[in-house]
């Protein structure tokens, strides 16, 4: 919401203007008050469009059609003047965030909420289709979340079903990523009610997973995927996947009608709003979104009627809002969605309010509903580099990782940790800027990593988190350096990167080459031994060689280290184990990175009766080791560069479980800290965009940031400082699970 500018009129059609809600290529949307005191969202068309007879005819026709619509989940037009010099229309208003803001700010919605959302929107579309109309632009920015249910807004491009569009031939009408294949092919004669159902399917997939089913990026690429590729519903909960998939059928005839879709979504076991006896309307929203509703309610009611002298000087129009008029949603780099996660809990005095407290906080809003009788919130400012909630600028961070390949578990864990950090920052009071997270699934592939780097640097993101593999980092690094963009590595360490001379590379994890430190310290101070044996798994490559060399050059307890190699092509570890025991080893360290090969080594040691300390690194700390080694894995100890995600903070764990229904995975706290480090750099620059991203890349290395996992501080060579706080940790197998022992220098 922005102040009126000098050129804005004081009133339009008897409505007193209060503030600007958004501006786009078609016109301006104002918050206004009618003569009777009702708040409305008032859209004014620009004069250059109004001068086009075809456009004015279309506007007149659509106002007539939309004013005839009725339905609880639709926002009615309460006044309009298609014949004015600048045509305008006003819709009823009640505060509430758009679905886009709720998902981008707080992550995927619970299944029950998505069911209720889909049910109500299906009912809204049923009313639209029964009137012979097609909405044509069902998207998250056109869905508002109120206390009692969602509202479908913005019929600015609605057309009578079967009518010929008054737009140019072959024009695509709608928002890429949320339109149907027939819309993507610009076949206006084929666009009917099934197109709205397809768009609703896209919206529900986005709400349930925080991802667009046909990805993001250049509009042409998104349209191509919409027409020719199957939707990506990987992260959509199983209970919704088949129903949403049916909505996304390429053939319009195979999609359910809006009425049938609503019937399928009406599940009294999971749909809270008005489908369960005794359920309250407000029960349909999660607490974080309820808090947004209350915030919007209070803000809208506090707006005084501006005096001319209070208006801001006339300035260039603000960046178009995603919900203002029919402006297209800003495009994002190809790969995945722009998402921000659920807010992490703050201190006790900032705890999320209960539903009753939310209602009390929003009681004034209830009076607006009583007066106005409807909902239409164009309340949140546009997204992008120059706009944000409450007029704050938005600083976008890129995130790239393997989200669908072999490294999916770690990639998704990091993405979720980053989302929580972004939301936590945005929930803080007194911030100078908001954060947004733009994600790209590079699948650990060099070519896709370079594509991500091109997209992110072209977009001018403040910094990039990731990639999550050495291959991707080596491929993307030169492009980020050329653009002076920080590449903040969360889980990657590789000697080739150390030797690359990439000055904008910022690694926030302990170097792989020093991973022997926690193992050596354990064998020095916790289980002192004089004779250590290394089972040197040649299949591990450089990582295994570095560990072997470190243990050889610095034998634990100033003793001796013997090395017993196993060829990369062999899976028989028994000869090496026999040789180690013949050397009277008191402890055995496995240098490999394969959990399957580690399991074979563990079984060989168990069969030989060895019960002394058995150690390895984080690479083998996978379920496959426990499954294949069985009892032989009991007692194994591991050095890791990541902490225990469940032990860093009860609030962090609770927020993660609330958002994703599961405990945080490995590297999630480290990703959370990486976002915090970049945010601290931006704050130290005053939140200004003037020096970003180059200034951010330089500032990172001068900071000391106390994170959840560890303290981040860098030495003169831009390497992570290992002291005063250690950056390595120890785990041990206990009862078929990996138990966290603690920071390696504190384990006794």
Q: Which residue matches tokens 């000391």?
A: 704
Q: Give the chain's length.
A: 748
Does the CA dihedral 162-164-168-170 come out positive or negative?
Answer: positive
φ, ψ of residue 658 in degrees (nearest 5): -65, -35
CA atoms 462, 415, 206, 274: torsion sign: negative
Which position has the token pair 């509202």?
A: 151
Residue 302 phi, psi dihedral angles, 5° rounding = -90, -5
| CB contact at 8 A, 315 and 323 | no
On the question of a cis peptide bond just before residue 358, with omega within 30 degrees of 0, the verdict is no
Catalytic annotation present for 137: yes
Cis peptide before 372 (omega within 30 of 0): no
**Contact predicate 441/403, CB 8 Å:** yes
C-alpha–C-alpha distance, residues 541 and 566, integer Å: 12
Return all residues near 97 (Cβ < 8 A) that are at least 6 apart. 105, 144, 145, 289, 292, 293, 296, 377, 379, 380
Annotated active-site residue in 137, 148, 537, 644: 137
Nearby residues of 136 by Cβ (< 8 Å), 6 or more positions away = 157, 158, 159, 173, 174, 179, 183, 191, 195, 196
Q: How far apart are CA 736 and CA 270, in angstroms?
A: 35
Could you report how far apart the first and last alpha carbons of the chain are, in Å?
Answer: 57
- Burial grade of 269 (CB within 10 A; 0-12, 13-18, 19 or more): exposed
**What are the C-alpha distances in Å from 158 to residues 75, 171, 223, 437, 534?**
14, 15, 20, 32, 71
> CB-side exposure of 577: number of CA atoms within 13 Å?
20
Residue positions annotated with a catalytic role: 137
């Amino acid at each position: 919401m922005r102040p009126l500018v000098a050129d804005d009129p004081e009133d339009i059609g008897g409505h007193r203007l209060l503030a600007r809600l958004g501006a786009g290529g078609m016109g301006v949307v104002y918050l206004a008050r009618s003569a009777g005191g009702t708040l409305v969202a008032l859209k004014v068309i620009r004069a250059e469009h109004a001068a086009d007879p075809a456009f004015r005819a279309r506007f007149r026709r659509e106002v007539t059609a939309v004013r005839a619509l009725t339905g609880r989940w639709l926002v009615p037009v309460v006044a309009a003047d298609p014949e004015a010099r600048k045509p305008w229309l006003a819709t009823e208003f009640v505060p509430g965030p758009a679905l886009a803001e709720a998902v981008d700010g707080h992550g995927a919605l619970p299944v029950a909420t998505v069911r209720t959302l889909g049910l109500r929107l299906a009912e809204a579309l049923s009313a639209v289709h029964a009137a012979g109309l097609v909405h044509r632009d069902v998207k998250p920015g056109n869905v508002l979340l109120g206390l009692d249910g969602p509202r479908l807004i913005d019929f600015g491009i609605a057309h009578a079903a079967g009518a010929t569009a008054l737009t140019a031939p072959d024009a695509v009408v709608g928002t890429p990523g949320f339109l149907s294949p027939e819309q993507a092919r610009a076949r206006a004669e084929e666009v009917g009610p099934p197109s709205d159902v397809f768009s609703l399917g896209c919206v529900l997939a986005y709400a349930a997973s925080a991802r667009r089913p046909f990805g993001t990026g250049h509009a042409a690429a998104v349209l191509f995927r919409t027409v020719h590729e199957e939707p990506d519903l990987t992260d959509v909960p199983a209970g919704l996947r088949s129903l949403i998939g049916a909505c996304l059928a390429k053939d319009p005839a195979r999609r359910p009608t809006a009425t049938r879709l609503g019937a399928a979504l009406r599940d009294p076991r999971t749909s809270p709003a008005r489908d369960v006896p005794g359920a309250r309307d407000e029960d349909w929203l999660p607490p974080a979104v309820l808090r947004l509703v209350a915030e919007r309610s209070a803000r809208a009611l506090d707006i005084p009627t501006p005096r001319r002298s209070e208006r801001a000087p006339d300035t260039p129009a603000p960046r178009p809002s995603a919900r203002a008029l029919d402006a297209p949603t800003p495009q994002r780099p190809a790969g995945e969605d722009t998402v921000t996660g659920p807010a992490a809990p703050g201190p006790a005095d900032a705890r999320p309010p209960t539903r009753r407290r939310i209602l009390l906080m929003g009681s004034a809003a209830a009076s607006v509903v009583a007066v106005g009788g409807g909902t239409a919130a164009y309340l949140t400012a546009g997204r992008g580099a120059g706009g944000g909630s409450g007029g704050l600028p938005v600083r976008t961070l890129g995130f790239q990782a393997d989200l669908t390949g072999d490294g999916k578990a770690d990639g998704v864990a990091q993405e979720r940790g980053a989302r929580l950090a972004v939301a936590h920052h945005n929930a803080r009071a007194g911030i100078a800027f908001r954060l947004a997270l733009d994600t790209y699934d590079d699948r650990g592939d060099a070519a896709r990593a370079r594509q991500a780097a091109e997209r992110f640097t072209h977009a001018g993101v403040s910094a990039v988190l990731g990639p999550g593999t050495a291959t991707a980092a080596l491929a993307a690094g030169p492009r980020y350096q050329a653009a002076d963009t920080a590449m903040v590595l969360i889980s990657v360490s590789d000697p080739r990167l150390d030797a690359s001379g990439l000055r904008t590379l910022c690694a926030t994890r302990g170097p792989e080459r020093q991973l022997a430190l926690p193992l050596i310290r354990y064998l020095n101070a916790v289980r002192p031994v004089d004779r250590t044996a290394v089972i040197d798994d040649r299949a591990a490559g450089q990582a295994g060689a570095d560990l072997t060399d470190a243990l050889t050059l610095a034998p634990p307890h100033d003793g001796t280290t013997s090395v017993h190699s196993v060829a990369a092509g062999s899976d028989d570890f028994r000869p090496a184990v026999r040789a180690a025991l013949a050397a009277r080893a008191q402890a055995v360290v496995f240098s490999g990175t394969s959990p399957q090969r580690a399991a074979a080594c563990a079984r060989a040691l168990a069969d030989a009766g060895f019960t002394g300390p058995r150690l390895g690194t984080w690479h083998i700390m996978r379920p496959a080791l426990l499954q294949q080694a069985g009892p032989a894995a009991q007692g194994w100890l591991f050095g890791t560069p990541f902490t225990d995600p469940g032990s860093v903070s009860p609030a962090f764990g609770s927020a993660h479980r609330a958002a994703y229904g599961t405990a945080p995975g490995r590297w999630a706290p480290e990703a959370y800290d990486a976002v915090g480090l970049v945010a601290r750099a931006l704050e130290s620059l005053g939140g200004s965009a003037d020096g970003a991203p180059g200034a951010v890349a330089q500032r990172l290395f001068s900071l000391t940031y106390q994170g959840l996992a560890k303290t981040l501080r860098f030495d003169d060579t831009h390497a992570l400082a290992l002291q005063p706080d250690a950056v390595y940790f120890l785990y041990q197998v206990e009862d078929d699970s990996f138990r966290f022992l603690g920071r390696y220098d504190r384990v006794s």
